[in-house]
Amino acid sequence: MKKINYGKILDDKIQELKTSGHKPSLLLHACCAPCSSHTLTVLYNYFDIILYFFNPNISHEEEYLYRCGELKRLVSEMNMNINIIEESYDPAPFYELARGLENLPERGERCRKCISFRLEKTAEKAKSIGADMFTTTLTISPHKDCQFINQCGGEISKIYGIEYLYSDFKKHDGYKHSVELSKKYNLYRQDYCGCVYSKLTKNNISAAADGGDKI
Ligand code: SF4
């Protein structure tokens, strides 16, 4: 199937907003501070952003709170006027959706369900607070399936009746920029995606190899 250029779709949307002067409210699901850094620089001038930290996949609570704390610190140090909605830590729904899929590799069915769940909750929250649109920082990761994330967002958008902002935040050297911003703000860059299964995989790999980041 032909790949869709979601980076171009985002560029066109931003151009449209620049021309109209309209600034919609956007609930932006944030997985962590490093992925949010570049994403915020792209969106900040064109959307009224509210960040949404909802990541029941993260293991364990200490890690969850630390990633959320880094997100708050980043927003504060970037001097951005952005509220953050932080959900309390409850991994039960993640373990429920991951049952039977524990041993699958990343980008498999467990990840699709994990991403779909977080997007659906973001749409639900966006609807409940009256936001115009929703999206996620997840498309900045070279480890994630950008086509799937956007298709999923589009489908959820129809179900909830709220516009999804298509994106590929890797475009325009987005991932590289996020690494630079992480250095600039001395952000914690985790070396596993988030769940205990990705942590176990990372531990097995790093026992044999590099230990580089896995954002
Ligand atoms: S590897 Fe990442 S995307 Fe996949 S299930 Fe675990 S936390 Fe979710």
- Would residue 148 count as lying in a domain? yes
Give the model confidence (pLDDT) of 1-50 as tens digits: 789 999 999 999 999 999 999 999 999 999 999 999 999 999 999 999 99
CB 167 within 8 Å of CB 135: yes
Confidence of residue 132 (pLDDT cuts 50, 70, 90): very high
Give the residue, out of 110, 140, 152, 201, with the most ligand 1 atoms within 8 A of its beta carbon, to mutate for a pocket test.
110
Rounded distance between C-alpha atoms, residue 189 and residue 215, angstroms: 7
Measured in angstroms, how far is the CA atom of residue 103 from the centroid of ligand 1? 11
Burial (0-12, 13-18, 19+ Cβ within 10 Å), 96 = exposed
Measured in angstroms, how far is the CA atom of residue 196 from the centroid of ligand 1? 9
List the Cα angle 18/13/46 in 5-degree steps: 45
Nearest to 122 by CA among 58, 29, 33: 29
- pLDDT, residue 207, reads 60
Output the domain CATH number for residue 137: 3.40.50.620
Confidence check: pLDDT of 166 > 80 = yes
Give the residue, out of 31, 64, 195, with the most ligand 1 atoms within 8 A of its beta carbon, to mutate for a pocket test.
195
| Ligand 1 contacts CB of residue 194 (under 6 A) | yes
DSSP codes of every residue in 104-122: PPTTSHHHHHHHHHHHHHH
| Ligand 1 contacts CB of residue 106 (under 6 A) | yes
Range of the domain at 124: 6-208
Measured in angstroms, how far is the CA atom of residue 21 from the centroid of ligand 1? 37
Rounded distance between C-alpha atoms, residue 43 and residue 48, angstroms: 9
Nearest to 93 by CA among 121, 125, 71: 121
Place of tokens 């993640």: 94
Measured in angstroms, how far is the CA atom of residue 124 from the centroid of ligand 1? 21
Ligand 1 atom, smallest distance to 201 CA: 1
- Would residue 63 count as lying in a domain? yes
CB 23 within 8 Å of CB 48: yes
Confidence of residue 206 (pLDDT cuts 50, 70, 90): low
- pLDDT, residue 137, reads 98
- pLDDT, residue 204, reads 79
What Å distances lie between residue 107 and 1, 101, 127, CA to CA? 17, 12, 28
CB 203 within 8 Å of CB 48: no
Q: What are phi and psi of 180, to 5 degrees?
A: -65, -45
- Residues for the chain: how many in total? 215
- Would residue 92 count as lying in a domain? yes
| Ligand 1 contacts CB of residue 193 (under 6 A) | yes
Measured in angstroms, how far is the CA atom of residue 195 from the centroid of ligand 1? 6
> What's the mean pLDDT in 124-143?
98
- Would residue 136 count as lying in a domain? yes
Q: What's the domain count of the chain? A: 1
> What's the mean pLDDT in 189-210?
82
- Would residue 214 count as lying in a domain? no
Confidence of residue 88 (pLDDT cuts 50, 70, 90): very high
- pLDDT, residue 214, reads 54
